[in-house]
Structure 1
Amino acid sequence: MPPQSDIHLDVIVIGAGISGLAAAIETALSGHHVVVFEAAGGLHEIGAGIIITPNSSRILKRWGLSDSLWASTTESAPLAIRSYTGRLLVSDGDFCKTLKERYNAPFAFLHRIDLQTALYARAKELGVGFQFGTRISNVNFETGEIISQSGVKTRGDLVIAADGLWSLCRAHFLPRDFEGVPRPTGDLAYRVVLTLDRIEDPELREWIANPRMSMWIGPKSHVVGYSLRKGTELNLVLVTPDDLPADVSRQAGSADEMRALFKNWDPILNRFLACVHSVKKWKLIHRKEMRRWIHTSENSNFVFVGDSCHPMLPYMAQGANSAIEDGAVIGRLLLHIQTKYQIGKALGMYEQLRKPRGDAIVKETFRQVSRHTATHSRRSTADIRE
């Protein structure tokens, strides 16, 4: 039996995404009673593939997630980076293996819903309660009371806001800083998942069935692809300039339009795109940095985790990984409190530990955008000269 806190808090988590589930698991492991409130009617798939890096995979291993999750994980995948024409730029057959040996934890590819399902199952095993289909309309930051749209009031010793990029908690917490909607970056992502059983081309089937991570770098755009679910699916993310209306964050896209944008790219990429029947377009957006991640008062009892306080662009694959770290840190700090009056101290330590790291990663993702743009320009010119 793992060590547990000397007291048992009633903890409310708002949001059942990765950050909320992570916070719920670690907080429950610390001996506290946790209830998660989620607006959706159940777990739902957002995105598709997800890259789990060693900084969070070691946490997931410690949490004892199901064997079926790890059985579906792709770990041994060579890396290949190509120019948009298909010219090989970098190749590393031991990429995942090297990272695993260096950090003693896997670098892995998962389907997001597989991870969420495993986190949910583990939380349930630990006694975490779930209230699905419950949208929160108001939060009292002084008392720790939340009110649902139906008028039901619930009070906790601590409220953890894990309600994502469009956080209602953030809107109420920082009304003067709240900008109405997050700000666009100028890019969007086409997200595609292809299944092996729908592809007849032998070479394309081999690409999927023998897991690999591939990147194509081109003018104003780039593509990332990797195998999922033990080589039975291929996840493709194609990042290109944003053409969605200002008030639209995501919508169904046109497969023909997507193919037209990448028609001069690597022939094998275009053969994959020819297999696509439907596609989603996601505007890549960000938020202004928050001054505080906690409510500061004599009886501090409110804290943010994950995208609600540090949404991250996908260029470093750290959004979900940082959210898992957030949940692990806040839950582990709650292990050491001995009275309710120490909640504020634990939250202050959480902010000191996590905010500088989270804000630094967010800033680094923007620097990655600038590097991608410069690299696109140099390498595109080189390809034309060839």
Structure 2
Amino acid sequence: MAGLRQSRVIVAGGGIGGAAAALALAAKGAQVILFERSGAFGEVGAGLQIGPHGARILQSWGLLEAALDTGVQPNHLVFRDALTGETLTTVDLGSRFRDRYGGPYFVTHRSDLHVLLLTAATNAGADLRSGVAVTDVITDGDRAVVTTSDGNTHEADIVVGMDGLKSTLRARISTDQPVSSGYAAYRGAIPYADADLDEDIHDVIGYIGPDCHFIQYPLRGGTMLNQVAVFKSRGFLAGVEDWGGPDELGHAFARCHQTVRRGLHHLWTDRWWPMYDRDPIDRWVDGRMILLGDAAHPPLQYLASGAVMALEDAKCLADYAADEFVGGAATGVWPRVLRDVNAERAPRCNRVIETGRMWGELWHLDGTARLARNELFRIRDTTSYRYTDWLWGYSSDR
């Protein structure tokens, strides 16, 4: 991997995906600089679900044990009807699940995973710089020329654009814009003892209902409870500019079971997250730059795999590069790596985008369609992995 050790890589964006890319590439020997536009590294939000497809990657980087130490391994994924509170179906996350997928399903605080990745990236030799944004990337022969917000220019062999849903660098590839789902999300993580629960929660519980859903699960060893409420915004439908505000929250869940309505009182209401994705695109490469993570394929949250897709991207890029550079660098290695990573990852991630949209529609049905969905959930074969192998069993290994 002599050629990879001589390679200079710039990563644009210091979120979970950017930190993962910096770690994966630096661990293979590349000289990595990561630029983050914010003045300090940090993740906004609360809980995060990591399926076994992400756990296996963290294991390969030697980070799974530390991630589990600060997280929780739920017993089940539970789907309930948001109007009645009835349990519709469950996914057992026990030993049979872990054996099939080679890792656990766990939940963690976003900031805990982010700090873990940043620390590991630094220890692997990556140079992490905050308060500086990558504003442009131009390919000049066999190098990328990067302009940053402080007025400086930098040269690299490749640039990894992981600057998120509202990516600046995506404009080099596509003129598209984020697509609004019309749904808004509210979050809240509180001390578990303050939650006023009817039951002790050891699972990820999702209440799915007409134009809304509500998620609960424990965090940080069960000392915290994470809750997420998502609803279709009346303001969005009416063309209100700042749609999805707190005045809509109570009305959106008025028909729901009392467990759901009571949980709303513990949500943060000083901020909310309008939910966007982007239409899938097949080409993520522009010369010596590749988009990855949410810059390339931002999904809606229904498959709980947005962060894991970025982990998969990072591992795929670093592994493909290491394979190509075995025995020393050769002409055209990096363009070939970027092409192959794009070809490998785009079908996978675009399927997540499209399936996530469909899954969201299924969750939010009303009337007779809701009743039919509930019956299908009730009779589901809980021993079958037919519909989940594609998501949780995937590997980009050649």
TM-score (norm 1): 0.86
- For the pair 1:350 / 2:341, whether they are aligned, the reply is yes
* 2: CA distance, partners of 1:351 / 1:37: 22
C-alpha separation in 2, matches of 1:274 and 1:7: 53
Unaligned 5+ runs, structure 1? none
On the 8 A contact 2:17/2:307 being kept in 1, the answer is yes
One-letter code of the match for 2:349?
Answer: G
Distance (Å, rounded) in 2 between the aligned partners of 1:132 and 1:250: 31
Q: Which amino acid aligns with 2:360?
A: V
Residue 29 of structure 1 aligns to which amino acid in structure 2? Answer: A
Supply the AA of the counterpart residue of 2:329: T
Q: d(CA) in 1 for partners of 2:354 and 2:186?
A: 23
Distance in 2, Cα, partners of 1:43 & 1:9:
25
Q: Which position in structure 1 is the counterpart of 2:178?
A: 182
More displaced stretch, 51-60 vs 190-199: 190-199
Structure 1 residue 34: deviation in Å?
A: 0.6
Mapped partners of 1:303, 1:382: distance in 2: 40
Aligned pairs (5 A) from 1:74-89:
74-89=72-87
Instruction: Check if 1:322 corresponds to 2:313.
Output: no
Q: 1:26 aligns with which of 24, 27, 48?
A: 24
Q: Confirm or deny: 8 A CA contact 1:53 1:106 kept in the other structure.
A: yes
Partner amino acid, structure 2, of 1:228: L
Mean CA deviation greater in 342-351 or 366-375: 366-375
2:287 matches 1:286? no
Match of 1:165 in 2: 165
State the AA in 2 paired with 1:128: A
Task: Report the alpha carbon displacement of residue 89 of structure 1 after superposing the two structures with TM.
Answer: 3.0
Matches within 5 A, 1:176-325: 177-179=174-176, 181-199=177-195, 201=196, 203-204=197-198, 207=200, 210-243=201-234, 253-254=245-246, 257-276=248-267, 278=269, 280-295=271-286, 300-325=287-312
How far the C-alpha of 1:226 sits from its partner, in A, is 1.2
User: What are the Cα deviations for residues 327-364 of structure 1, in whole angstroms up to 9, with x where unaligned?
Assistant: 00001111122326211111111111111111111111
Contact 1:219 1:380 (C-alpha < 8 Å) held by counterparts: no
Shift of 1:126: 0.4
Paired amino acid for 2:316? V
More divergent stretch after superposition (359-368 vs 282-291): 282-291
CA contact 1:4–1:29 (8 Å) conserved in 2: no
Aligned counterpart, 2:116: 118
**Aligned pairs (5 A) from 1:137-152:** 137-142=135-140, 143-152=143-152
Find the aligned partners of 2:126 and 2:36 in 1 and give their Cα distance.
13
Report the residue type matching 2:101 in the other structure: Y
Asked if structure 1 preserves the Cα contact closer than 8 Å seen for 2:17 and 2:314, the reply is yes
Which amino acid in structure 2 is aligned with residue 153 of structure 1? T
* RMSD over equivalenced CA pairs, Å: 2.6
Q: Deviations over 1:198-232 (max 9, x none)?
A: 34x3x45x53xx42211112111111221111111
Q: CA deviation at 1:308?
A: 0.4
Contact map agreement 2:55 2:105 (CA 8 A) in 1: yes
Which residue number in structure 2 is paired with residue 65 of structure 1? 63
Q: Provide, for residues 69-97 of structure 1, a one-character-per-residue CA deviation record: whole Å limited to 9, x for no partner.
A: 32111113333322123342335483354
- In 1: Cα distance, 2:243 partner to 2:14 partner: 20
Q: Which runs of 5+ in 2 are unaligned?
A: 375-398
Distance in 2 of aligned mates of 1:93 and 1:283:
28
Partners of 2:268 and 2:360 lie apart in 1 by 29
SS in 2 for 1:166: coil
Alpha-carbon distance in 2 for matches of 1:294, 1:247: 36
Q: Distance in 2 between matches of 1:226 and 1:282?
A: 19
Deviation (angstroms), 1:190: 1.7
Q: 1:331 aligns with which of 318, 341, 344?
A: 318
Q: 1:98: Cα distance to partner? A: 3.7
Shift of 1:64: 1.5
**Aligned residue pair count:** 366
